[in-house]
Amino acid sequence: MDFKAIGAALAQNFTLTNLVIRASYIICIAIAFEIMAWWAARVIEKQVAPLITADAERDAVWRVKRRTILRHAPKIFSRSVLYAIAMVLIFEVFGVPVLPLSIGIGATLLLFGAALLPVLRDLGQGYTLLAEDALAPGDAVEIDGHQGVVEKFSLRGVLLRDKENRAHLLNNRDIKEIIIYRRKVQDSKNFDDPLAKV
């Protein structure tokens, strides 16, 4: 490997004029993708807006948590995709071969996507349950034969506490049927044993 030849090629590519031209291309790419990210965020906000008001009677802390996840999760995903595309275009400005880079990134994403498929299914099902306001902490429910009070609900799973004080941790991807016996609403501060009347 001839380091002098590599150094000469780099010096020729990175002259002041070339750097100014490349910097202007990069700034244009960054501005274009920031505008696309802003536009995608507005579209997502409009799509999520009807889902936001479904939890009006819920506890205030839960409403804030739910609404934050509903608004920000799709925005983070869309922004990540847009930034990945922008980075590939920026590499192209510097003369990096884009096709092998794109194939490498695609293969890596496919590998990680296949390995993390159960987690991705949990996140997708959890987001759907959250959007539908199907569950919230404090609800008395039966999920696939497990009765209990929802102690914790996240995008990954549901933690139920039954009458015998046993904890049941259910993955969101495995949830097929939910029976709601009683919802915890904002004014029900005393929520001792919701399964006592079931």
Provide the β-strand partners of residue 146.
143
Q: How far apart are CA 94 and CA 103, in angstroms?
A: 18
CA 23 to chain centre: 32
**Does some domain include residue 128?**
no
What is the phi/psi pair of residue 151, to 5°? -90, -35
CATH number at residue 194: 2.30.30.60
Distances, alpha carbon 99 to alpha carbons 94, 105, 160, 188, in Å: 14, 10, 49, 59
pLDDT score, position 172: 93
The reply to whether 18 and 88 lie within a common domain is: yes
The reply to whether 108 and 23 lie within a common domain is: yes
Provide the β-strand partners of residue 167.
161
Which positions of the chain have pLDDT values less than 70? 1-3, 5-14, 186-198
Cβ distance 71 to 50 under 8 Å? no
Which domain, by its residues, includes 176? 135-198
pLDDT score, position 173: 93
- Number of structural domains the chain divides into: 2
